[in-house]
Amino acid sequence: MKAIIFDLDGVVVDTAKYHYLAWRKLAEELGFAFEEEHNERLKGVSRMRSLEIVLEVGGLTGMSEVQKQELAERKNGYYLNMISGIDQSEILPGISQFISRQKRAGYKIALGSASKSGRMILEKLGLADQFDAIVDGNLAERAKPDPQVFIKAAELLGVPCSECIVIEDAAAGIDAALAGGMKCIGVGGKAILGKADIVVPDTEALSGIEML
């Protein structure tokens, strides 16, 4: 193994809570409740697919593509406002140390995220310079479980997919990594992430892993 590709939400930083709050605010404006259990369906998927799921929850149909785009942009505005003040204090436990240790060990490091704000968030966290490649929703058109985002990251790193390890917290991300021919570490519950090569309960537990 020569490279590690990190998902963003739930692995490097918990921006998922801000996505949820932004979708919930939009749903309230549209006249229905969007609860945390509904939000589980949004993990690892693109903004437009997330909007489709939110509209399904609300039973709203028949919207034009223009209307959908307006709603997606409105939600993104809420989200960007919410994350405007994030800083290093929101990096998930153990991640900074884990990245530093793997870089010292010679691994190349990349981001592979569906979020179009990926680079901006890493800069706010003070981590951007630790990543040799950053692939976010601005570079990858196809959402997970399509492996495009991870394959692009491997290409930018100049490392074969078979020599990359992905760290993910979503089932769609695990499926994407495996579809791309990569090894995968899941962060979270085995019931959801059982397809991964290794599953750890949280980011702090990554420090105990001997890389594959």
132 belongs to the catalytic site: no
Is 96 flagged in the annotation as binding? no
Is 66 flagged in the annotation as binding? no
Is 7 flagged in the annotation as binding? yes
Is 8 flagged in the annotation as binding? yes
CA 66 to chain centre: 26
Is 9 flagged in the annotation as binding? yes
Is 47 flagged in the annotation as binding? yes
Is 43 flagged in the annotation as binding? yes
Is 89 flagged in the annotation as binding? no
Q: Which of 9, 87, 129, 175 is catalytic?
A: 9
Is 136 flagged in the annotation as binding? no
The burial class, CB within 10 Å (0-12 / 13-18 / 19+), for 28 is: exposed
Is 187 flagged in the annotation as binding? no
Distances from the Cα of 159 to the Cα of 104, 105, 148, angstroms: 17, 16, 15
Is 44 flagged in the annotation as binding? yes
Is 46 flagged in the annotation as binding? yes
7 belongs to the catalytic site: yes
* Numbered residues of the known binding site for substrate: 7-9, 23, 42-47, 50, 75, 144
* Numbered residues of the known binding site: 7-9, 23, 42-47, 50, 75, 144, 168-169
* Numbered residues of the known binding site for Mg(2+): 7, 9, 168-169
Active-site amino acid positions: 7, 9
